Amino acid sequence: MPDPALLPPIPPAPRTTVRCRRCGRPLHDPESRILRLGPECRTPDPASAAVPGDQDTLPGLE
Ligand SMILES: [Zn+2]
């Protein structure tokens, strides 16, 4: 059994959990944490982006 003092230190966990502001999932990669958006929420969904014509703004949605 190796001496515990020779083992590499465990990197400290992030103190705050950054969650995606759209879906609320915890973000782990630095870029997503800076943007506060997960990879799947950063790019617009083609299905929802390609809505033809005018559309009323739904309350509670941005
Ligand atoms: Zn998300």
pLDDT in tens, 34-61: 999 999 998 866 666 565 677 677 777 6
Q: What is the 12 CA–ligand 1 centroid distance (Å)?
A: 24
Residues with CB under 5 A from ligand 1 (ion): 20, 22-23, 38, 41
Q: What is the 33 CA–ligand 1 centroid distance (Å)?
A: 11
Is residue 18 helix, strand or coil? strand
Q: What is the 56 CA–ligand 1 centroid distance (Å)?
A: 23
User: pTM of this prediction?
Assistant: 0.45
pLDDT mean over 23-37: 95
Question: What sections of 1-62 are H helices per DSSP?
Answer: 30-35, 39-42, 46-49
The pLDDT score that the predictor gives to residue 36 is 95
Which of 56, 52, 26 has the alpha carbon at shortest distance from 41? 26
Q: What is the 40 CA–ligand 1 centroid distance (Å)?
A: 6
pLDDT mean over 20-41: 94
Longest dimension (CA), the chain: 69
- Average pLDDT of the chain is 81
The pLDDT score that the predictor gives to residue 54 is 72
